[in-house]
Amino acid sequence: MTQRPAPPVQHGVRRVPAYLLPGAGQPPVREDCQVVEEAMLTIDVEGVGWYTLMWTPTASLHEVLGFSGDHGVLAATDDPEVLSLTAGFLFTEGLIRSLKDVRRMEVCSNDSGIVRVQIAEPDSLNPRRRNVTMGSSCGVCGGREAVDSLVAGLAAVPDTARLRSAQFDELMAAMRKLQTVFTQTGGAHAAAVFDRNAQIIAVAEDLGRHNALDKVIGMCLLKDADLSGCGVLLSSRLSLEMITKAIRAGFEIIAAVSAPTSLAIEIAGRFGVTLGGFVRGGRVTIYSQPQRIVELGAATLP
């Protein structure tokens, strides 16, 4: 029996022993496999409730203290990932409208898996869920009432971005080069924000597609990035809740390697978002608001 050497392990990746069975007549191979790390993060919002997410920490947690409205980010790193996920989650859940609504975010000194948050006016909030544990693929639950609740308060996005069809594939290729956890494990999702010049300005990875999107939105919030005319790339399918998170951030174009759901298409069209799926091999399928694609010009969809 042979044994394969394992490449070095980075944050977000765990090494586990395994046996590879190559096929009939071939000997088994003992190898150390690399898998995506799954950890728990509890966001405890004072006066509102707690939210426990299953996530992938791809950067060190020990260099991050927190965030305060008076002093900004308190961290010894340029990428305080745990704060990005926390801020992005609070934003896409509708608990904050901007970082101005956050008095404090603090990573617990005794347990880096807990972030405590103080919001300026918690009594004014009417969260759609609280005190919940969400899996890595957690989405919206319920009937049409749940859909209406999810999109309540959203505004139509502007119509300023324009993209050539070939740029979808170029952007996906650029995102793939930045997916270091996926390269090692094959088990992580990614989300990347691109600007009106079709340049990627932020990228995040996580075992959960919702987390990856929350992280990259949170990165932009913490950096006070101008998101006008921007779009977002996703390595996953396009579900309703992913679309509503992106609309809340004001992204004009949403594109993914996989398929959209019918509700995702409906809501994207209602709020003026250009939705592209199956971005692979030089092709892309546009499901809503085609006017932002140069080759389609003034084309419309029913």
Q: Residue range 158-173: average pLDDT? A: 95
Q: Phi and psi for 81 in degrees, rounded to 5?
A: -55, -40
Q: Write out pLDDT tens, residues 233-257.
A: 999 988 888 999 999 999 999 999 9
Q: Residue range 57-72: average pLDDT? A: 89
Instruction: Say whether 10 sits in a helix, a strand or coil.
Output: coil
Q: Where do the domains of the chain lie, and which CATH numbers do they carry?
A: 2-36 (no CATH), 39-136 (no CATH), 165-292 (3.40.140.10)
Please check the confidence at residue 259 and state whether its pLDDT lies above 80. yes
Of 88, 93, 104, 45, nearest to 216 by C-alpha is 88
Q: Are 174 and 180 in contact (CB under 8 A)?
A: no
Confidence tier at 68 by pLDDT (50, 70, 90): very high
- Comparing 273 with 11, which gets the higher pLDDT? 273
What is the reported pLDDT for 112?
87
Contacts of 73 (CB under 8 A, 6+ apart): 67, 80, 83, 222
Confidence tier at 21 by pLDDT (50, 70, 90): low
Residues above pLDDT 90, as percent of the chain: 60
Confidence tier at 62 by pLDDT (50, 70, 90): confident
Model-level pTM greater than 0.85?
yes
Q: Are 196 and 231 in contact (CB under 8 A)?
A: no
Contacts of 93 (CB under 8 A, 6+ apart): 51, 127, 128, 129
Tokens for 100, please give them.
Answer: 């101005």
Which residue in 33, 108, 138, 220 is the catalytic one? 138
Confidence tier at 125 by pLDDT (50, 70, 90): confident
Please check the confidence at residue 132 and state whether its pLDDT lies above 90. no
What is the reported pLDDT for 1?
44
Q: Residue range 60-83: average pLDDT? A: 88
Active site residue 141: no
Please check the confidence at residue 2 and state whether its pLDDT lies above 60. no
Q: Write out pLDDT tens, residues 194-228.
A: 999 999 999 999 999 999 999 999 999 999 999 99
